[in-house]
Chain A
Amino acid sequence: MNLLDGAVLPKDGEKTADFVIVGSGPAGSAVARAVARAGASVLVVEEGPLRKPSDFHADSFQAMADLYRDLGGSLTRGPAPMPYLQGRVVGGTSVINGAISWRLPKDIHDQWCKADPALTLALPFDTLEALTDEMERELGIAPTDPAIAGTHNALFAKGAQALGIAHRPISRNVVQCQGSGGCLQGCRHGRKQSMDLTLLPQACEYGAEIMFNTKVLRIDHDHRRARGVLARSQGGGLWRLQARRAVVLAASAVQTPCLLWQSGLRHGPVGEGFQGHPGASAAGFFREPVHLWQGATQGHEGIGLRQEGLKFEVLGMDIGVAMTRLPGVGQELSRHLALLPHMAEWGCAVKAQARGTVRPSLLGRPVVRYQLTDADMAKTRKGLSILAQMLLAAGAERVHLGVHGGPTEITDPRQAQAFASEGPRDPRAYAMVLTHLFGTAAMGSDPARSVVGPDFGVHQLAQLYVADSSVFPSNTGVNPQTSILALASLCGQRLAAAG
């Protein structure tokens, strides 16, 4: 790969390319490859470090410190703050996610087009499907092989089957998975087809350059068109990165709107409409060993209630994180350590209605304000209730929800069922995590109600484009990586064709 390490660049400098792309996650990588393949010169700028699979750590703390933004401790603001997880490494969140791959659901696409008919032409579903097909082939996306799925995933299938909830092995971008359960720490075997191992090296073969350990501070523009970006290398140099044809923002639904704000580009709902998929989880304790750190990290899912905005998944994890889900503190927690090998952890992702905002603080750090609605909490209670029933049906002797004011432990399916109606209403009673972030620079034809137009171009400024999940008009209810890849590829193809 053509690499430039910002850590060894103490002096100021300048570089020029046809396209300057901010962010090296799925969106940035897809655009970079598309435009580089068409012969354009490309510079991808990434804030995080470059890591090889052999650099990844087995334990979650070291992995989070090295690969996650803020040690995984970025928090939303609001009455019930919750962490949101983002990768900060070359390859972005694709390096540290569970590799779950979902096509953009047709019903979600229809909703977008119904709300803004201009999107029917701008994002033709057939074209997105064709691009998704291409990605599925290239990234080896296939259902999880039962041979490596492991007990944790097999029990999930058993529980979902018993409850009559449609379920299936998760399609993932992993080739010859060894079932080592380390997706969330970065795959040390290099089997996950994350962007650092796939699209980015391909883009580099076409001549793209990756400047990592370099943080983009703002977009350089003259109020009519974008000229490039101003960036700070980790070594301390100030770099003026000029774009002959366009600047493409692909820095995530949190960082992209902040960059727009910090660059004085605040026309339209910049940073508004923030959406995500808050997730809650249930721990079940089985008589037989489960070893939730073995097998496919996230190998099986329950999809029967997707239309209601609920999706269920296995949550494999390292023991460092798993221990936090054991009940109690002090001597009680210490005693429960013996239960770790027998614990299963399953989660539900909620397609929340809540909409938040993203703005930079005075110090330039993103401030995400987000508060779940009553309807979101009702879905969460239902999701946890179903997870508890599934765990019991799969053979768990008891289930621990970790909800303040809820039952300490659940041993009876009727108790689990009752949680949906009787569980606490207050979001502060729950320990939830927010993933899959969308909508902060939404696409649309009306500049008053959207930030980018149907061509991915920012309404306010020529030659500035947004290609990440910020442009999604709403959350999708499913894991977005493949949808992001499809939309960003479309964006890249159009930029390449624009000449």
Chain B
Amino acid sequence: MIQRWSLRLNRHKSASGAEVRTAACRLLSLVLPANQELGSPSAGSAANAAFWHTFDRSAPLLLRAGLTIAVFWLTWLPFLRHGRPLHRLDPAQQTAFLQGMAQSRFYVHRQLTLVVKLLASLALGTDAGARQVLMQRRP
């Protein structure tokens, strides 16, 4: 009986973990989208399985918790105003919301946005193709 519950719990955990991961990738892509002109991918697509494996293995609990909170908060806070989560807003609304969070008078909002921006940048920095493009490009 205990084993069955334990299995169910683990299944539930991995399912919710996968959902958080999908939501995190979506958020990273919104914070650092692809640049068509340069040919760089979005941070979300650069954050592949290897990236998350390394993150899970190395990140301290506080950072992992910070990312989960940031994903939830930044995804669902727009619901209060627009009745839709962040990824269902139109691009102009998404940009306005993220900029508002980055410049918010609330320290926590700024920090949560910074955590996601940091991870988005690090994720894109792991993409060999993006590195080559970004290091050589001239405006």
Contacts and interface: CB of A to CB of B under 8 A. Distances in A.
Interface string B13-35: 00000000000000000111111
Interface string B89-102: 00100110011011
Interface string A327-344: 011111111011111100
Contacts of B62: 73, 75
Contacts of B125: 59-61, 318-321, 323
Contacts of A334: 32-35, 40
Interface residues of B, number: 46
Contacts of B136: 341
Contacts of A428: 107
A136 interface: no
Contacts of A431: 114
B137 interface: yes
Interface string B106-139: 0100100110011011111110000100111111
B59 interface: yes
A289 B35 contact: no
Given A329-B98, A333-B117, A404-B110, A71 B124 contact: no
A404 B114 CA distance: 12
A335 B138 contact: no
Contacts of B37: 338
Contact of A341 (B54, B118, B137): B137
Interface in B55-88: 55, 57-60, 62-63
A331 B114 contact: no
A84 interface: no
B103 interface: yes
B32 A333 contact: yes
Contact of B126 (A61, A71, A74, A291): A61
Where chain A touches its partner, the secondary structure class is helix
A380 B41 CA distance: 36
Contact of A71 (B34, B63, B117): B63
Contacts, number: 122
A330 B95 contact: yes
Contacts of A65: 54-55, 57-58
Interface string A67-81: 000110111000010
Contacts of A337: 35, 38, 40, 134, 137
Contacts of B138: 289, 338, 341-342
Report the interface size class on chain A.
35 or more
A332 B121 contact: no
Interface in A308-324: 318-324
A428 B98 CA distance: 19
B105 to A, nearest CB: 8
A269 to B, nearest CB: 27
Contact of A339 (B31, B121, B123, B139): B139
A291 B40 CA distance: 18
A127 interface: no
Contacts of B38: 337-338
10 contacts: A60-B122, A70-B59, A71-B55, A319-B134, A323-B121, A324-B114, A328-B99, A334-B33, A338-B138, A431-B114
Interface of B: 30-35, 37-38, 40, 51, 54-55, 57-60, 62-63, 91, 94-95, 98-99, 101-103, 107, 110, 113-114, 117-118, 120-126, 131, 134-139
Interface of A: 58-62, 64-66, 70-71, 73-75, 80, 289, 291, 293, 318-324, 328-335, 337-342, 404, 428, 431
Q: Which 9 A-B pairs have the closest CB atoms?
A: A320-B125, A323-B121, A65-B58, A61-B122, A70-B60, A338-B139, A73-B63, A330-B95, A71-B58
